[in-house]
Amino acid sequence: MFLSTFEKQLDSKRRIVVPHEFRAAVGQPFDGVFCFPAIEADCLEGGGKALFDRYVALIEELPFGDPLRSALEATVYGGMARMSFDDAGRITLPPALCDMFGLAAGDWISVVGMGERFQIWPREAFQAHRAAARDAARSGLAELRAAQRARIAGAAG
């Protein structure tokens, strides 16, 4: 699993050291990660073969020619980069993916673990996203707890 958040700086060649914990989570069949533009947020999403296989299965559930399938294929397959780790555990982010999110050499980024996947954000953008996500999680959890209490009260009455 990809856990925690790490801040890294892109070097002059747009490389970042992938946290050791993330490299260990990737496993086989190759020593690297898949990255593509995230669907739900303005950042990069990445992971190992398990994440790739999950997207393949999701896409293949949809009939050929379905507009959603085409959109997912263009986003995931068309935007995907396969990046191998170098001897220092770094990956090089492709220029096209960096350009999409305004990432340049020397910029600070946040690498955010999200279980079976991770995201790469411009640091300031992630700070804003994290604050909004925490508010959404707080209110969503409160709503979930209220619904659970209502179900329990309804079953008891």
In a domain, 134, yes or no: no
**pLDDT tens string 82-91:** 999 998 989 9
In a domain, 151, yes or no: no
In a domain, 61, yes or no: yes
**pLDDT recorded at residue 154:** 87
Count how many domains the chain has: 1
CATH number of the domain enclosing 21: 3.40.1550.20
In a domain, 54, yes or no: yes
In a domain, 11, yes or no: yes
Structural domain range at position 79: 5-123
In a domain, 138, yes or no: no
Which DSSP string corresponds to 41-97?
SSSEEEE-HHHHHHHHHHHHHSPTT-HHHHHHIIIIIHH-EEEE--TTSEEE--HHH
**pLDDT tens string 131-150:** 999 999 999 999 999 999 98
In a domain, 52, yes or no: yes
**pLDDT recorded at residue 1:** 83
pTM of the entire predicted model:
0.85
In a domain, 103, yes or no: yes
Pick from 156, 13, 17, 27: nearest CA to 94: 13
